[in-house]
Structure 1
Amino acid sequence: MSFKNQIEFLKELQKNNNKEWMDANRKWYKEVRDEYINWLDSMNNRLSHIDKDYYDTPGKKGINRINNNLMFHPNKPVYKDHFGAGFDKKPNTADFYFELGIERCIFAGGLWRPEPKVVRSVREAIDYNGDKLQKILNKKSFKTLFGGLYEDAKLTKSPKGFSNDHKHIELLRNKTFGVETTFATAQTFNQNFDEKLIEVYKEMLPFRRYLNKAITV
């Protein structure tokens, strides 16, 4: 799938970001959405054969709404400038997210600003075997693809119960435990793009498994 229809739709939507235009082009929207869902179904099936613990996530369950939540973000446009979706969406676990945008696409995964109880569980895991997480983060192919943990707000001091000279203090100060990589949207037009998604999923899997074990054990 090349996503050309989806990109053209998003471009026109951003020129006409209002309900009137969407209503007039509802048939086109349904067409690109259905195509996207069919692709999500196909990838969901392929990923389920890679990970024995994969949580079946059909396209209709994985796809995100294209409407922005104006109740909490009243200054945002009515509609998003991308199609987003999640794979392996087992509740209360580290996620794997794909976003198809006009200029770029994003692969991301992990835990984004989880509730304090979850953060505490991850920090306890780091305290117990942080070397294992650090080894995952330091792996050459992982660093090449993701760089490192997603840059987000951190504690300025050590978390409660942990000393400032803790071996893994920099990891412990994180509030978000996630990674992200981006590609130019033009790459989605290549025939091997599905393989790229699978490559990213596999590379991220040990990281997500570490987090999931931390918050479920």
Structure 2
Amino acid sequence: MQFEKSSLQYLKDLKQNNNREWFSATKSTFVKAQNNAKDFYATIRENLEKHDEIEKFKLFRIYRDVRFSKDKTPYKAHFAGHFSRLGKHLRGGYYLRIRPGESFLAGGFWEPTKEDLFRIRKEIEIDATEILAILNDENYVKYFGGKFQGEELKTAPRGFDKEHPNIELLRKKGFIAVRNFTDEEVLSEFFLQEIDNSYKALRPFFDLFSDILTTNLNGESILNE
């Protein structure tokens, strides 16, 4: 199973002809590319379910909501999908976007609730040893560069010491791992395996944050069994 060259070419053409007339005239080409994407993401899910529990998958619509955007182009020139892990015990999610020249996968916690974000920050404040070990893990460094991406505060969050030794982690508003891909990598016969290897490398990160977000600072479960 591969993401087809013709599907990537369609996305390139859509970027250059992002209007309803062209889209309507090439609808059959879109359907073919979309079906390829659906099959490709379905295979990703099959691979994921061999080593994780996935509750649901969402392939995002190609139509853009332009109501509040300055960019009025009606279509997204990419395919993107998100895989949610199963149940309240397993936190974190997997994401993949295929866009010519700008493809990437990601995983983690994009916009944590204020409660979740506070809990993570308290863990960092008290003892960041386990989180730092994740960032220094050999596979995490190999696939994700040994860092979290995402938005940051310019200073310490309210109630936290701006001189804390791990202030760079405390300033994070989200905790996201990102890996970029070239078009050549997207079209490679090894792309599916590289995606799966990357997602496997996220598991220590997900397992630790799942434990943090389902327990209090004493390590006691906060979930109702």
TM range (shorter): 0.7 to 0.9
Other-structure match for 1:64? 60
| 1:214 and 2:212 matched | yes
Give the 3 Å change call, closer, same or farther, for CA 76–113 of structure 1 in structure 2.
Answer: farther
Partner secondary structure for residue 195 of structure 1: helix
Q: Which has the higher helix share?
A: 1
Partner secondary structure for residue 155 of structure 2: coil
Greater mean alpha carbon deviation, residues 81-90 or residues 133-142: 81-90
AA in 2 matched with 1:153: E
Counterpart CA distance in 2 for 1:129 and 1:202 is 25
Kept in 2, the 8 Å contact 1:108–1:179? The answer is: yes
Partner secondary structure for residue 88 of structure 1: strand
Other-structure match for 1:46? 47
Deviations 1:21-47 (A, max 9, x none): 222222221221112111211221111
RMSD across aligned positions (CA): 2.1
Counterpart CA distance in 1 for 2:133 and 2:77 is 36
Normalized against structure 1, the TM-score is what?
Answer: 0.87
AA in 2 matched with 1:22: F
AA in 1 matched with 2:148: L
AA in 2 matched with 1:39: F
Counterpart CA distance in 2 for 1:64 and 1:14 is 17
AA in 1 matched with 2:195: L
Aligned residues: 211
Alignment of 1:123-142 (within 5 A): 123-142=121-140
Counterpart CA distance in 1 for 2:69 and 2:109 is 22
Other-structure match for 2:184? 186
Give the 3 Å change call, closer, same or farther, for CA 32–188 of structure 1 in structure 2.
Answer: same
Give the 3 Å change call, closer, same or farther, for CA 149–18 of structure 1 in structure 2.
Answer: same
Cα drift, residue 3 of structure 1: 2.4
Gaps of 5+ in 2: 216-225
| 1:77 and 2:78 matched | no
Deviations 1:123-142 (A, max 9, x none): 12323442101100012332
Other-structure match for 1:17? 18
AA in 1 matched with 2:4: F
Other-structure match for 2:198? 200
Kept in 1, the 8 Å contact 2:112–2:174? The answer is: yes
Kept in 1, the 8 Å contact 2:150–2:175? The answer is: no
Cα drift, residue 117 of structure 1: 1.9
Counterpart CA distance in 2 for 1:8 and 1:90 is 35
Question: What percent identity do the matched residue pairs reach?
Answer: 25
